[in-house]
């Protein structure tokens, strides 16, 4: 036990006080400090030594009191904090995925309560291709890099698209505004924008936004549909919260444009801003619905992802993305 601690009448086991607290801070006098032992070798005058001892004693008293206060905190305090921040797991949500005969996961974030609500803690962290949900950040990047001036910019129809990859959709094969391309999910239009944006600028903004796994090794322009680039439902929600908070490297103007384009449902008590996504890669259907709901006094962020073997292809796979999400939101009394 330290003599200094003993002298002030407080006992603290030596192991509770880290050694570094007993190291002396060097000053401009002719004292020599041993950093290893914390002892003083001095040639100072007696008065100086008394002052030094007095100051050292005060320092030890401060450190000791801090250590005691920390040691006297209830052992359950740290556990309580972790418990408060732990996600609420609702395995019962899986019944909705089973009804659609798909594997899936859903993440909800309650902004007012700073609370995560998840269907599980594994699938919600598994990353897959974002598919057309990538249009959310894609629009922001196109605006910020001045690839387009605004959402009304017209993208010229290139004359063809790979229908084997994207399916046959003749209703979108024409010149189209960026806003309409976002709303009807005209993938070819954003592929044309991606060619102008370039991979280096994508890497810059995706890294700055913490969006996805950063793997842009896919050679085709639409790396968000095919290849190793991927994002998890949890990451989707975290990004959407940044969009809402404005905590991203994009101007307020561009964020406001995105928020306007994202509006998909307006009701008396709430508004939904969202984007769907669907890609077919390596025999797997990957479907998404991501977005956020603003109510009178709160905001709820969500990301729902469905995975299905294409051998078990169901006609309602696309509609299940929203149906499952809305069912969960009703269960949580977020929407009526």
Task: Tell me if residue 193 falls in helix, strand or coil.
Answer: helix
DSSP β-bridge partners for residue 300: 110, 293
Task: Tell me if residue 251 falls in helix, strand or coil.
Answer: coil
Number of Cβ atoms within 10 Å of the Cβ of 322: 17
Rounded to 10 degrees, the C-alpha dihedral 258/260/266/271 comes to 50
- CB–CB of 138/224 below 8 Å? yes
Task: Tell me if residue 213 falls in helix, strand or coil.
Answer: coil
* 105 Cβ contact partners less than 8 Å away, ≥ 6 residues apart: 118, 119, 120, 123, 124, 126, 233, 304, 305
Nearest by Cα to 16 from 58, 75, 76, 72: 72
Catalytic (active site) residue 132: yes
- From 132, 185, 232, 274, active-site residue: 132
In terms of Cβ atoms closer than 10 Å to its own Cβ (0-12, 13-18, 19+), residue 146 is exposed
- CB–CB of 4/17 below 8 Å? no
- CB–CB of 118/106 below 8 Å? yes
| Cα Rg of the chain (Å, integer) | 29
Nearest by Cα to 225 from 234, 233, 216: 216
Token output for 156: 């010229």
In terms of Cβ atoms closer than 10 Å to its own Cβ (0-12, 13-18, 19+), residue 126 is middle
Q: Hey, which residues are catalytic here?
A: 132
């Amino acid at each position: 036990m330290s003599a200094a601690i003993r002298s002030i009448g407080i006992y603290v086991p030596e192991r509770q006080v880290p050694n570094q607290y007993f190291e002396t801070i060097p000053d401009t006098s002719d004292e020599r400090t041993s950093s290893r032992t914390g002892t003083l070798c001095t040639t100072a005058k007696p008065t100086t030594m008394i002052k030094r001892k007095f100051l050292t004693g005060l320092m030890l008293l401060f450190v000791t009191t801090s250590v005691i206060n920390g040691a006297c905190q209830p052992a359950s305090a740290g556990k309580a904090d972790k418990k408060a921040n732990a996600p609420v797991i609702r395995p019962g949500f899986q019944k909705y995925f089973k009804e659609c005969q798909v594997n899936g996961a859903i993440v909800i974030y309650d902004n007012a309560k700073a609370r995560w609500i998840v269907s599980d803690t594994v699938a919600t962290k598994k990353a897959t291709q974002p598919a057309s949900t990538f249009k959310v950040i894609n629009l922001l990047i196109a605006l910020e890099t001045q690839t387009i001036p605004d959402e009304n910019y017209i993208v010229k129809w290139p004359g063809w698209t790979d229908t084997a990859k994207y399916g046959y959709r003749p209703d979108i094969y024409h010149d189209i505004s960026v806003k309409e391309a976002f709303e009807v999910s005209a993938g070819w239009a954003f592929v044309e924008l991606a060619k102008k944006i370039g991979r280096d600028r994508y890497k810059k903004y995706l890294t700055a936004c913490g969006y996805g796994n950063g793997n842009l090794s896919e050679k085709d322009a639409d790396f968000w549909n095919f290849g190793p680039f991927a994002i998890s439902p949890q990451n989707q929600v975290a990004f959407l919260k940044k969009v809402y908070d404005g905590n991203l490297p994009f101007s307020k103007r561009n964020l406001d444009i995105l928020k306007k384009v994202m509006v998909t449902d307006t009701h008396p008590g709430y508004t939904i801003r969202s984007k769907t996504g669907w890609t077919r890669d390596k025999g797997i259907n990957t479907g998404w619905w991501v977005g956020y709901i603003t109510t009178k006094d709160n905001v709820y962020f969500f990301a729902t992802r469905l995975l299905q073997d294409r051998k078990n292809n169901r006609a309602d796979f696309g509609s299940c993305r929203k149906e499952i999400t809305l069912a969960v939101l009703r269960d949580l009394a977020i929407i009526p």
